[in-house]
Amino acid sequence: MLALLVIFGPAQHFLLDPDLQSAKFLEVFGGSPPPRMNEAPWLVIVGIVAIATLWGGLYVGLSRSWTDAWWRRGLRFGGIAWLLMVPWFEFYLPWNVMREPALLVVLEMVCWAGVLACVGLAIAGVERLLRPRPASPPGTRSATDAAPS
């Protein structure tokens, strides 16, 4: 949630500018009926937690075969999530349905890359903290304890 605010927040200056944005796109957020999140902001938090739980489970399943550092696994997962979600979503809804200008679509895609990199790192970091580490022989360090990982 924080990554959404920090990364998309500054972009709103451009994304909501009536001189740059399509009227159809602006009407979706400012017209009637308003988006559900305007009436019940808690829905966004519940949705983010539900999706994060699903993505965390997917990450655990996928990352078992990845042997590199936790942060590389997180960035890899963020990249996979971006490839599976962002191009289709941005093409279909903002660009196609709401007729958002292409440069603003590109700006959103870049913002999503930052957000999903943060999501991947957060998921990988939590998984790294919660995963039981294999026991090392006395006097040695395990590969998962080696710095920097």
Q: pLDDT band at 17, cuts 50/70/90?
A: very high
Amino acid at 90: E
Q: pLDDT band at 142, cuts 50/70/90?
A: low
Distance CA 135, CA 133 (A): 6
With residue 135 as reference, give the H or E element that holds it: none
Domain ranges of the chain: 39-130
Amino acid at 19: D
Of 6-10, 39-43, 130-134, which gets the smallest average pLDDT?
130-134
- Higher-confidence position of 120 and 33: 120
pLDDT digits 0-9 by tens, 111-130: 999 999 999 999 999 999 99
Distance CA 135, CA 94 (A): 50
Rounded to the nearest integer, the mean pLDDT of the chain is: 89
Statement: residue 145 has pLDDT above 50: no
